[in-house]
Amino acid sequence: MTFDPFNDFATHGYLRNTAGLHDPAAVRQLEHNAFLDKLGDALAYLSGRKTITYDDVLRTHGILFGDIYPWAGQDRAHTTPDIAVTKGPVLFAHPNDARGAVAWGLQLGQDKATMRAKPGEVMGYFAYGHPFLDGNGRTIMTVHAVLAQRAGISIDWSATSKTDYLTALTRELDEPGRGHLDTYLKPFLKRSVGNKRLFAHINKTPGLDGKPQPAARDNAVLGRFSEPAVRDRYTVQQQRRKSSDPQP
């Protein structure tokens, strides 16, 4: 089923893309082209920010995808505040909680010692927040790579398995702070690649390189938060995460 959170796919195309395309695969190719074209601009922007904030994450998304989506740079609290979004078994944060989840990840990630020790935990909070309807992977990977660079490390994403990574990430989202993703990423931790190589380093990430992903899952609309079944699933997830989540 096509991801249609605006409920206007027939008239406005996939996620209201500026080209009016209805084929999600064609839109993903537009996204990849935009990413390659704008990644340098996004890295330049982030390099000028002494402290990276949630608003900078929004700005990064806007830089990367402003030519594709009219809502680029706006999070789900603005675009679809009443809709629960899933991907496979993963239920992402309530739109009103996306800012808090990503901001906590930024706080952890900008402590260099924490970033070196727990890059997977930082990524887990970014992924759980899932602030955008699309383009989350490329946006949070860009921010995460910059934080890693500042901490003196890099992750050899080209050596990772997308399937194994997503399995570890799913466990991280269910039980934040338990080290699931940190354990998976540990063999791939390297020294910083250097600013000149950061562009190529990010683009080598499986799933971000523009190659077809036959097993990839798209976002889906679980339903509206006014529906009892949606509220119940969200409550269960919140309780499960709260038992693990180290946030104050």
The pLDDT confidence band at residue 238, using thresholds 50, 70 and 90, is confident
Q: How far is CA 19 from CA 24, 31, 65, 190, in A?
A: 12, 11, 13, 40
**Which residues are paired to 155 by β-bridges?**
189
* Residue 196 placed within a domain: yes
* Residue 50 placed within a domain: yes
pLDDT exceeds 70 at position 60:
yes
* Residue 4 placed within a domain: no
> Which ranges in 136-215 belong to alpha helices (H)?
136-150, 162-174, 180-185, 198-203
Residue 107: phi, psi to the nearest 5? -65, -45
Query: Distance between CA atoms of 160 and 206, rounded to whole angstroms?
Result: 8
pLDDT exceeds 50 at position 202:
yes
pTM for this entry: 0.93
Query: Distance between CA atoms of 63 and 9, rounded to whole angstroms?
Result: 24
CATH number of the CATH domain containing 30: 1.10.3290.10
* Residue 248 placed within a domain: no
Query: What are the pLDDT digits (tens) for 151-189?
Result: 999 999 889 998 999 999 999 998 998 999 999 999 999
* Residue 108 placed within a domain: yes
* Residue 70 placed within a domain: yes
Q: What is the mean pLDDT of the chain?
A: 91
* Residue 49 placed within a domain: yes
* Residue 133 placed within a domain: yes
The count of structural domains within the chain is 1
Domain containing residue 138: 9-242
